[in-house]
Amino acid sequence: MDDNAVKRWRLVLGKETQDELEYTLTREEAGIDRTLEALYNSERKGGLGASSPNVSRWLGDIREYFPTSVVKVMQQDALKRLKLTSMLTEPEMLETIVPDIQLVANLMTLGKLIPEKTKATAREVIRKVVDQLMQKLAAPTQQAITGSLNRAARNTRPRHNEINWPETIRKNLKHYQPDYQTIIPEVRIGYGRKRKALKDVVLCIDQSGSMGTSVIYSGIFGSVMASMPAVATKMVVFDTSVADLTEELNDPVDLLFGVQLGGGTDIHKALSYCQQLVTRPLDTVLVLISDLYEGGNEVEMRKKVAQLVDSGVQIITLLALNNEGAPFYDHKNAEFFASLGIPVFACTPDQFPDLMAAALSKQDIASWAGSNDIKL
């Protein structure tokens, strides 16, 4: 093997192979070796342990030696392998962590266990991630949904104060009368129904531990849709109890900071609450984001979802809303939902804006999924 291959194997396999591989590490490579040893061979003396200075130094080292994408993976491995909750409960240490969506999920899991002295720092970490996601997702969501609703709501018989004059003039240029130097507006284009939201959206989100990143993305999308007058958006989260977070949608940081991940699941109770929020079923889209593992009354849960479908509510079930691939889910409940005509699938954040645009314009979601290579 060439030197580069030997070096890589030496760093992968650790100190135990230094005699066999006969490779001398440079100073920087020795530093990389120490950071890997501390995390991935931590049962040996000299591992990371729970010492705050050790962890803080290690966090600084990995940022020096590795790119951000690798740093995020190593941070998560440290939390999982070594259970280093001190990384998240000490403000000085939390400040040194590279923020990402998994880190926010971990903070949400800790919830009330986060000490008061750390909450301000934790909030800033969450805000950084939220701002990044909002910057990426807000514009595509607004454009997709607004475009869909505008096409559905265009008014060709507007009152005088509802006329969209630029569109009306553009539409009637062919009727320009040179003799009179004027346009005859044979077709008038209005702005549509401005007096109330055109559609109602209810986001019903499972906040059990396995749904962490899905809750975060749901909060971001909920906040974006809540800022759009054409859509009346409500957000409900649940485990064995139900919490209505609609009033928090104007600030996604407060919303996410108030979510407590973990616990059981009572989908029946959540759907029963959501049913009370539905005032015009034919204009309501209910998005249930859950792995469908029911910890409550499964028979009653199935009855409730059937009632909602029968009333005319359009239900979409997302087994996950993240970039993490195929989720674990209850196959029997998924099959039952599908038998009612409810599309059941996992969705990425990049696909969600188009999904909502399709749902709000009453497109066939099965056809939409097929055109986007999504398996129902």
CA nearest to 38, candidates 14, 17, 19, 21: 14
Return the higher-pLDDT residue of 310 and 53.
310
Mean pLDDT within 157-162: 72
Mean pLDDT within 93-112: 74
Residue 287 pLDDT grade (very low, low, confident, very high; cuts 50, 70, 90): very high
Rounded to two decimals, the pTM is 0.68
Report whether pLDDT(152) > 80.
no
Return the higher-pLDDT residue of 317 and 257.
317
Mean pLDDT of all residues belonging to the chain: 83
Note the pLDDT of residue 56: 61
Highest mean pLDDT among 107-121, 179-193, 274-288: 274-288
Report whether pLDDT(122) > 50.
yes
SS3 state at 372: coil
- The string of pLDDT tens digits covering residues 323-369 is 886 678 999 999 999 999 999 999 999 999 999 999 988 889 999 99
What tokens does 143 get?
Answer: 């454009």
Strands 176-177 and 182-183, how do they pair? antiparallel
Strands 242-244 and 231-238, how do they pair? antiparallel
H helical segments located in the chain: 3-13, 18-21, 27-40, 52-65, 68-82, 86-89, 91-94, 101-110, 116-153, 165-171, 212-226, 252-257, 267-277, 298-311, 331-339, 352-360, 365-371
Mean pLDDT within 112-126: 78
Residue 85 pLDDT grade (very low, low, confident, very high; cuts 50, 70, 90): low
